[in-house]
Structure 1
Amino acid sequence: MPAIRTAPPPHLLGDEAVEQVLGAFYRTPRVGGLDRLAGGGGPFGFDITTACRVHALVTLFGCDAIVESGCHLGDTTEYLARAYPHLPVRACDLDGKRAGFTRARLAGHGNAVVHHGDSGRLLPALLSGLERPLVFLDAHWGPGWPLRAELTALKDVRAVVLVDDFRIGHPRFGYDTYGGEVCGPELVADALPGLGRMFVGDVEADYPLPCLQTGRRSGTGIVVLGLDDTALAAHPWFAKVPLHPCPVLPSWASVPEVSGR
């Protein structure tokens, strides 16, 4: 007797969505690895569970565009253009050569536009005319770290913001530090003092696709601005992080507690 297949809950990925993510993800060349990118490059650092979460965010919030800062050589940008051909994809990079490379790489994708410039200053223009974009903040390695300026530029818009290389409190997942300041919830709480909570990707959740990245993986932080985050709070792929009176990261089941002396 054939197995009875039931439809997944609306907030999870059905077969069609899984095929959409899977096909676009593994058809995207990992060019970033040629530029010594940690983990060998690939969309979202070659972590397909992040791609699953992005798809959930785009679906949950009905995002009308995707904006990316720090496109580097375009691995993630090309994936986004492939996976969401119905959405405009607007990207930028501070490095002119990398922006030019990514622009040429995406010449065949009519929904993608790549700009050269400082993301903190470019974001208002990149967000122009959009009602509820997904914004992927991944601008790193430049002479200055633009994350605080990016968050400030976003504070009065309606958007779903995904911050890469974010501290989630799990030893398997890396994060960035610039000038002694950690890419983590404390920075978000300071930059957006009116925000009561944010989320991080739940790395211990059950995903429909396995991650094949055996090298560096990084945490992701999610900030919902001007939109109702109730559905996200109920989603099994995201964990709540209260920001006040102080940020509290999840207690991961796979990380043993350290007893005090």
Structure 2
Amino acid sequence: MPATRTTYLPRLPDDQAVAQLLRAFYGTARAGGLDRLAGGGGPVGFDVTTALQIQVLISHYGCDGIVESGCHLGDTTEYFARAYPHLPVRACDIDATRTAFARDRLAAFPGVDVRHGDSADLLPSLMSGMQRPLVFLDAHWGPEWPLAAELAALHTAVGVIDDFAIGHPRFGYDTYDGQVCGPQLVADTLPGLERMFVGHVEADYPLPCLQTGRRSGTGFVLLGLDDTSLTGHPWFAEVPLRPRPLLPSWTTAREGQ
């Protein structure tokens, strides 16, 4: 019954929490635009709905740290440091020049650690000491694609995958050598995972998205954690992975055909 189910829903952020997110999000410089990043840079692709979804997950699951792979010039890293000053934030990038830029940019934030190297190798040490980190996976460029190895390194964690195929034409995704950054890759990499989630693009959010350029889909995997509460949350759409991945049938996508 609906009245019973709502007791399992993660709490939506209150007005004060939304206001804090707003200040941190739009107070972060979009340095990624200087490097011709798709969408002009900005925290989590300058999509505030993704930031709201992450806020719910961090609050509900009591995440004790944030890890980011592929930090580029540090737009998302700085946002995390501003929005969650009580949590350690650790990030990495495979490009030495970008790593140095992000490290210098974030020097004023004592809780931030930015490292240079391959995220597939660095991820275990970046998560060291964290019991249930939120891990933002965005290392989606370069000759090697570390996503499968990154996912395999997660144990008890909230995984957030950027540039993810969600089956809606308005939201872009990455492809490497013909392999889509989408549910099938997750299903193949994590054979014990029965379902995952994507951001619900038709939900009612308390803040409008001001990203007029490229928006990308976001995938969420809950590993070692009870994901039951997300099945009824208005901001997340369930994606069964067995016997085969099944993306949502978006109403707005059908209307646009």
TM-score bracket for this pair, using the shorter chain length: over 0.9
The Cα of 1:153 is off from its aligned counterpart by 1.3
List aligned pairs for 1:58-207, cutoff 5 A: 58-154=58-154, 157-207=155-205
| Distance (Å, rounded) in 2 between the aligned partners of 1:130 and 1:233 | 26
Question: Structure 2 counterpart of 1:240, which letter?
Answer: E
| Distance (Å, rounded) in 2 between the aligned partners of 1:58 and 1:153 | 20
Question: Structure 1 counterpart of 2:69, which letter?
Answer: S
Moved over 6 A (4+): none
Q: Which runs of 5+ in 2 are unaligned?
A: 1-8
CA displacement 1:23-47 (0-9 Å, x = unmatched): 0001100000000000111001111
**3-state SS of paired residue (1:113):** strand
| Distance (Å, rounded) in 2 between the aligned partners of 1:103 and 1:26 | 21
CA displacement 1:146-197 (0-9 Å, x = unmatched): 101111111xx10000000000000000000000000000000000000000
- Counting aligned pairs with the same residue, the percent is 70
Are the counterparts in 1 of residues 10 and 56 from structure 2 also a CA contact under 8 Å? no
- How many residue pairs match? The answer is 249
Are the counterparts in 2 of residues 13 and 208 from structure 1 also a CA contact under 8 Å? no
| Distance (Å, rounded) in 2 between the aligned partners of 1:199 and 1:72 | 25
Question: Structure 2 counterpart of 1:101, which letter?
Answer: F
Would you say 1:239 and 2:244 are equivalent positions?
no
| Distance (Å, rounded) in 2 between the aligned partners of 1:112 and 1:254 | 39
Are the counterparts in 1 of residues 72 and 102 from structure 2 also a CA contact under 8 Å? yes
CA displacement 1:220-260 (0-9 Å, x = unmatched): 0000000011112221100000000000000111121799x
Distance 1:206 1:176, change over 3 A: same
Question: Structure 1 counterpart of 2:215, which letter?
Answer: R
Tell me which residue corresponds to 2:22: 22
Tell me which protein shows more helix as a share of its residues: 2
Cα RMSD of the aligned pairs, angstroms, is: 1.3
